[in-house]
A and B are shown apart, each in its own frame.
Chain A
Amino acid sequence: MDRQQEFVLRTIEERDIRFLRLWFTDVVGTLKSVAIAPAELEGAFAEGIGFDGSVIEGFARVYEADMLARPDPSTFQILPWRGENPGTARLLCDILLPDGTPSFSDPRQVLQRALTKASDLGFTFYTHPEIEFFLFEQGTKPGRKPKPVDEAGYFDHVPKGTGHDFRRATITTLESMGISVEFSHHEGAPGQNEIDLRYADALTTADNIVTFRTVVKEVALEQGIHASFMPKPFANHPGSGMHTHMSLFEGDQNVFYEPGAPYQLSKVGRQFIAGLLTHGAEITAVTNQWVNSYKRLWGGGEAPAYLTWGHNNRSAMVRVPMYKPNKGQSSRVEIRSIDSACNPYLAFAVILAAGLKGIEEGYELPPETEDDVWSLTDAERRAMGIRPLPSSLYEAIQVMEGSDLVAETLGEQLFDFFLRNKAQEWNDYRQQVTPFELKRYLRAL
Chain B
Amino acid sequence: MTESVRPRTESLPAAIARLGFDDPKRVLGLLSDPAVADLFEDSERIEPDGLAQALSRTADPDDAALAVVRFMEAAARDDSLYAAVTSALCRPGAARDRVLGVFGASSALTDHLVAHPEHWVAAAEAVDLGPVERTDRLVEAVQAAIDSRNADSTSTPSSSADAAGGTSIVGGSAVGAAGDPIDVLRIAYREQLLGIAALDVTAAQATERFEVTSRALADLAAAALEAALIIARSEVGAAADQTRLAIIAMGKTGGRELNYISDVDVIFVAEPAVSPDGTLVDEATSTAVASDLATRVMRICSTKTAAGSLWEVDPALRPEGKSGPLVRTVESHRTYYEKWAKTWEFQALLKARAVAGDPEVGQAYIETMSPFVWQAASRENFVDDVQAMRRRVEQHVPKAEADRQLKLGQGGLRDIEFSVQLLQLVHGRADDTLRSRNTLEALAALSAGGFVARDAAANLAEAYRFLRTLEHRIQVHRLRRTHVLPSAEKDLRRLGRALGYRQAPAEEIIQVWRGVQREVRRLHEQIFYRPLLAAVARLTTDETRLTPSAARERLTALGFRDPAGAFRHLEALTEGSSRRAALQRQLLPVMLGWFADEADPDAGLLAFRRISDQLGSTPWYLRLLRDEGLAAERLAHTLARSRYAADLLEQAPECVQFLGDPRGLTPQSREDILRRMRAAAGRRPDPVEAITAARGIRRTELFRIAVADLAGKAGLTEVGAALTDVTSALVEVALERITQAVADRTGGRVLTRLLVVGMGRFGGREQSYGSDADVMFVHDPVPGVDAGAAQEQALEIVKELLKVLGQRGPDPDIEIDLDLRPEGKNGPLVRSLASYAEYYQRWAHPWEFHALVRAAVVAGDEDLGDRFLTLIQPLRWPEGGLSAQQLREIRTLKARMEAERLPRGADRKTHIKLGHGGLSDVEWVVQLTQLQQAYDHPTLRTTSTLAALDAAMEAGLIDTEPGTDLRRAWELGSRIRNAGVLFRARRIDSVPSDAREADGVARILGMPPGSGAALADMYRRYARRARHAHEALFYD
* Contact in complex: A416, B909 (CB < 8 Å): yes
Expressed in whole angstroms, the minimum distance between the Cβ of B569 and any Cβ of chain A is 27
* Contact in complex: B1021, A407 (CB < 8 Å): yes
* Contact in complex: A98, B320 (CB < 8 Å): no
Contact with B along A381-424 (1 / 0, CB 8 A): 00000000000000000000110100110011101100000000
* Contact in complex: B995, A99 (CB < 8 Å): yes
Q: At the interface, yes or no: A432 with Cβ under 8 Å from chain B?
A: no
> CB-CB < 8 A to A415: which residues of B?
1024
Docked pose: A238 CA to B1017 CA in angstroms:
41
> CB-CB < 8 A to B335: which residues of A?
6
Q: At the interface, yes or no: A63 with Cβ under 8 Å from chain B?
A: yes
Question: What is the predominant secondary structure among interface residues of chain B facing chain A?
Answer: helix
Expressed in whole angstroms, the minimum distance between the Cβ of B111 and any Cβ of chain A is 41
Determine which of A5, A98, A416 lies in contact with B1020 in the assembled complex, contact meaning CB atoms within 8 Å: A416
Q: At the interface, yes or no: B1013 with Cβ under 8 Å from chain A?
A: yes
Docked pose: A404 CA to B1027 CA in angstroms:
13
Docked pose: A98 CA to B1013 CA in angstroms:
12
Q: At the interface, yes or no: A3 with Cβ under 8 Å from chain B?
A: yes
> CB-CB < 8 A to A5: which residues of B?
340
Most buried by A among B320, B339, B1010: B339
> CB-CB < 8 A to B907: which residues of A?
61
> CB-CB < 8 A to A413: which residues of B?
909, 1016-1017, 1020
* Contact in complex: B1020, A3 (CB < 8 Å): no
> CB-CB < 8 A to A63: which residues of B?
993
Q: At the interface, yes or no: A309 with Cβ under 8 Å from chain B?
A: no
Docked pose: A408 CA to B1016 CA in angstroms:
13
> CB-CB < 8 A to A3: which residues of B?
320
Expressed in whole angstroms, the minimum distance between the Cβ of A209 and any Cβ of chain B is 27
Which chain A residues in 1-31 approach chain B with CB under 8 Å?
Answer: 2-3, 5-6
Docked pose: A408 CA to B1024 CA in angstroms:
11
Most buried by B among A2, A63, A104: A2
Q: Nearest CB to that of B323 among chain A residues?
A: A3
Contact with A along B306-346 (1 / 0, CB 8 A): 00000000000000100000000000000110011000000
Q: At the interface, yes or no: B1025 with Cβ under 8 Å from chain A?
A: yes
Docked pose: A378 CA to B780 CA in angstroms:
71
Docked pose: A179 CA to B954 CA in angstroms:
60
Q: At the interface, yes or no: B891 with Cβ under 8 Å from chain A?
A: no
* Contact in complex: A2, B340 (CB < 8 Å): yes
* Contact in complex: B339, A408 (CB < 8 Å): no
* Contact in complex: A2, B320 (CB < 8 Å): yes
Q: Nearest CB to that of A60 among chain B residues?
A: B993
B-side interface residues, number (CB < 8 Å): 18
* Contact in complex: A2, B336 (CB < 8 Å): yes
Q: Given known contacts A61-B907, A104-B1013, is B336 in contact with A408 (CB within 8 Å)?
A: no
Q: Nearest CB to that of A62 among chain B residues?
A: B905
Docked pose: A413 CA to B1019 CA in angstroms:
10
Q: At the interface, yes or no: B986 with Cβ under 8 Å from chain A?
A: no
Q: Nearest CB to that of B909 among chain A residues?
A: A416
* Contact in complex: B909, A411 (CB < 8 Å): no
Contact with A along B900-925 (1 / 0, CB 8 A): 00000001010000000000000000
> CB-CB < 8 A to A101: which residues of B?
995, 1010, 1013
Using C-beta atoms within 8 Å of the partner chain, give the interface range for chain A. Answer: 20 to 34
Q: Given known contacts A6-B339, A101-B1013, is B995 in contact with A412 (CB within 8 Å)?
A: no
Docked pose: A3 CA to B320 CA in angstroms:
9
* Contact in complex: B993, A64 (CB < 8 Å): yes
Which chain B residues in 1005-1036 approach chain A with CB under 8 Å?
Answer: 1010, 1013, 1016-1017, 1020-1021, 1024-1025, 1028
* Contact in complex: B1024, A97 (CB < 8 Å): no
> CB-CB < 8 A to A2: which residues of B?
320, 336, 339-340
Expressed in whole angstroms, the minimum distance between the Cβ of A295 and any Cβ of chain B is 30
* Contact in complex: A408, B1021 (CB < 8 Å): yes
Docked pose: A97 CA to B996 CA in angstroms:
12
> CB-CB < 8 A to A407: which residues of B?
1021, 1024
Docked pose: A407 CA to B1028 CA in angstroms:
13
Expressed in whole angstroms, the minimum distance between the Cβ of A191 and any Cβ of chain B is 43
Contact with B along A411-445 (1 / 0, CB 8 A): 11101100000000000000000000000000000
> CB-CB < 8 A to B336: which residues of A?
2
Determine which of A64, A99, A401, A411 lies in contact with B1017 in the assembled complex, contact meaning CB atoms within 8 Å: A411
Q: Given known contacts A404-B1025, A416-B1020, is B909 in contact with A97 (CB within 8 Å)?
A: no
Expressed in whole angstroms, the minimum distance between the Cβ of B254 and any Cβ of chain A is 24
Q: Nearest CB to that of B1013 among chain A residues?
A: A101
Expressed in whole angstroms, the minimum distance between the Cβ of A9 and any Cβ of chain B is 9
Docked pose: A353 CA to B923 CA in angstroms:
34
Docked pose: A413 CA to B1015 CA in angstroms:
12
> CB-CB < 8 A to A411: which residues of B?
1017
Docked pose: A260 CA to B1013 CA in angstroms:
48
Docked pose: A6 CA to B339 CA in angstroms:
9
Docked pose: A135 CA to B165 CA in angstroms:
74
> CB-CB < 8 A to B1010: which residues of A?
101
* Contact in complex: A412, B993 (CB < 8 Å): no
> CB-CB < 8 A to B1013: which residues of A?
97, 101, 104
Docked pose: A413 CA to B336 CA in angstroms:
38
> CB-CB < 8 A to B1028: which residues of A?
401-402
Docked pose: A297 CA to B9 CA in angstroms:
107
Expressed in whole angstroms, the minimum distance between the Cβ of A46 and any Cβ of chain B is 9
* Contact in complex: A97, B1020 (CB < 8 Å): no
Determine which of B320, B339, B1024 lies in contact with A412 in the assembled complex, contact meaning CB atoms within 8 Å: B1024
Q: Nearest CB to that of B1023 among chain A residues?
A: A412
Contact with A along B965-1006 (1 / 0, CB 8 A): 000000000000000000000000000010100000000000
Q: Nearest CB to that of A98 among chain B residues?
A: B995
Docked pose: A2 CA to B1020 CA in angstroms:
36
> CB-CB < 8 A to B995: which residues of A?
97-99, 101
Q: Given known contacts A61-B907, A101-B1013, A402-B1028, is B1021 in contact with A412 (CB within 8 Å)?
A: yes
Q: Nearest CB to that of A47 among chain B residues?
A: B380
Contact with B along A89-110 (1 / 0, CB 8 A): 0000000011101001000000
Expressed in whole angstroms, the minimum distance between the Cβ of A111 and any Cβ of chain B is 17
> CB-CB < 8 A to B340: which residues of A?
2, 5
Contact with A along B873-917 (1 / 0, CB 8 A): 000000000000000000000000000000000010100000000
> CB-CB < 8 A to A64: which residues of B?
993
Docked pose: A407 CA to B1018 CA in angstroms:
11
Q: Nearest CB to that of A46 among chain B residues?
A: B380
> CB-CB < 8 A to A408: which residues of B?
1021
Docked pose: A152 CA to B1020 CA in angstroms:
51
* Contact in complex: A104, B993 (CB < 8 Å): no
> CB-CB < 8 A to A98: which residues of B?
995
Q: Nearest CB to that of B340 among chain A residues?
A: A2
* Contact in complex: A412, B1025 (CB < 8 Å): no
Q: Nearest CB to that of A408 among chain B residues?
A: B1021
Docked pose: A412 CA to B339 CA in angstroms:
37
> CB-CB < 8 A to B1021: which residues of A?
407-408, 412
Docked pose: A404 CA to B1020 CA in angstroms:
12
Docked pose: A104 CA to B340 CA in angstroms:
27
Docked pose: A412 CA to B336 CA in angstroms:
39
Docked pose: A158 CA to B114 CA in angstroms:
89
Expressed in whole angstroms, the minimum distance between the Cβ of B328 and any Cβ of chain A is 11
Docked pose: A413 CA to B1017 CA in angstroms:
7
Q: Nearest CB to that of A401 among chain B residues?
A: B1028
Q: Nearest CB to that of B1027 among chain A residues?
A: A401
Q: Nearest CB to that of B1032 among chain A residues?
A: A402
Expressed in whole angstroms, the minimum distance between the Cβ of B306 and any Cβ of chain A is 35
Q: Nearest CB to that of B336 among chain A residues?
A: A2
Docked pose: A415 CA to B1016 CA in angstroms:
13
Given A98-B995, A412-B1024, A416-B1024; 8 other pairs, CB 8 A cutoff? A6-B339, A61-B907, A61-B993, A99-B995, A101-B1010, A412-B1020, A413-B1017, A415-B1024
13 cross-chain CB contacts under 8 A: A2-B320, A2-B339, A2-B340, A6-B339, A61-B993, A99-B995, A104-B1013, A104-B1017, A407-B1024, A411-B1017, A412-B909, A413-B909, A416-B1024
Q: Sorted from nearest, which 6 A-B pairs have the closest CB atoms?
A: A412-B1020, A2-B340, A99-B995, A412-B1017, A64-B993, A412-B1021
